[in-house]
Amino acid sequence: MTGVELAPGAWWIVVGIGTLLGLDAISWPQSMASRPIVAGTLGGMLFGDPGGGFLVGAWLEIMASRHPPYGAARYPETGPAALIAGAAFALSESGSIIALMFCVLAGWTIGWVGSHSIALLRRYNDRALGDPASFAGDPTELARRHRRSIRLDGARAALVTGALFLPVVLAVRVAETWGPGGLGAGLTPVLAVLGLAGLGGVGARLLGGRREGWPTFVIGGAVGLLLIWVFP
């Protein structure tokens, strides 16, 4: 995990995978390779730490459960975001909870940048395909415009990945080596896990739960404790 350096071709590989993951979520083929646990693991694997990448992806997965993609709702784009976050964690100096937290927050931020870029693309698609009369039922023209929209989605994902990958890796490295005072060092991990736990609670509720279902959530927590005991 530590001391891994970026090879010159790594950026291109990350951008290539980010493009495919960005396409997967909406345009084609919704195989969920773009889910954070998959994309994060891929990002970690590229730089020798699939387990670390997975961990970042798992945190992002819990956070993303707060924003289910129902209807035309806005939600963070997970593919390129988790890919970059997983890679940044694998490239971090310490692999500590601080690096994990920064990678997760970076992933979350990239997810919303991606979401805004998707909204822009959809507005462009409004002009291209929002009025069926504009292509008068011509099947060739419809196919041409539809495929162009898919290509643009790929270009959008490539742009998001390419523009944010290196800055995020550098930012995480700088942030984790920032020397906090004693209070910051002690408080940050506690606040971070409290935030995660809260997001887990929200995610569980938004997966269709009712307030009265809290015992199910608690039972799950007890099962988690049991698993920790069985698999220390």
Partner 1 sequence: MIPRRTDFTAAFLRSFAVQGSWNYRTMIGGGLGYALTPLLRRIHAGDPVALRQAIERHAGSFNAHPYLSPVAIGALARLEHEGRDAETCDRFRTALRGPLGALGDQAVWAGWRPFCALVTILAVLSGADARLAVMAFFIIYNAGHVGLRFWGFRMGWHAGLDVGGALNRSPLRALGGRLMPVNQALTGAVVVMLVARAPGFEPGAWEAGLVAVAALGAFILPSRGGVLAMGLLFAATAAWFF
- Secondary structure (H, E, C), 76-128: CCCHHHHHHHHHHHHCCCCCCHHHHHHHHHHHHHHHHHHHHHHHHHHHHHHHH
Per CB under 8 A, the segment of 3-11, 12-20, 155-163, 223-231 that binds partner 1 is: 223-231
Q: Is 3 near partner 1 (CB under 8 A)? A: no
Considering only 83, 84, 160, 192, the residue that binds partner 1 (CB under 8 A) is 192
> Which pair of tokens denotes residue 164?
């944010």
Q: Is 218 near partner 1 (CB under 8 A)? A: yes
Q: Looking at beta carbons only, is 13 or 190 nearer to partner 1?
A: 190
Q: Is 88 near partner 1 (CB under 8 A)? A: no
Contact (CB, 8 A) for 63 and 37: no
Q: Is 182 near partner 1 (CB under 8 A)? A: no
Tell me the number of residues near partner 1 by CB under 8 A: 108
Least gap, CB of 79 to partner 1 (angstroms): 13
> Which pair of tokens denotes residue 91?
């490239």
146-175 residues in contact with partner 1 (CB under 8 A) are 146-147, 149-150, 153, 175
3-state secondary structure of 45: helix
19-38 residues in contact with partner 1 (CB under 8 A) are 26-33, 35, 37-38
Q: Is 87 near partner 1 (CB under 8 A)? A: no
Least gap, CB of 8 to partner 1 (angstroms): 25
198-217 residues in contact with partner 1 (CB under 8 A) are 198-209, 211, 213-214, 216-217
Assign 3-state DSSP to the chain and report helix, strand, coil percentages, each to 5: 75, 0, 25
Q: Is 173 exposed, middle or buried (0-12, 13-18, 19+ CB in 10 A)?
A: middle
Considering only 7, 13, 120, 143, the residue that binds partner 1 (CB under 8 A) is 143
Contact (CB, 8 A) for 116 and 164: no
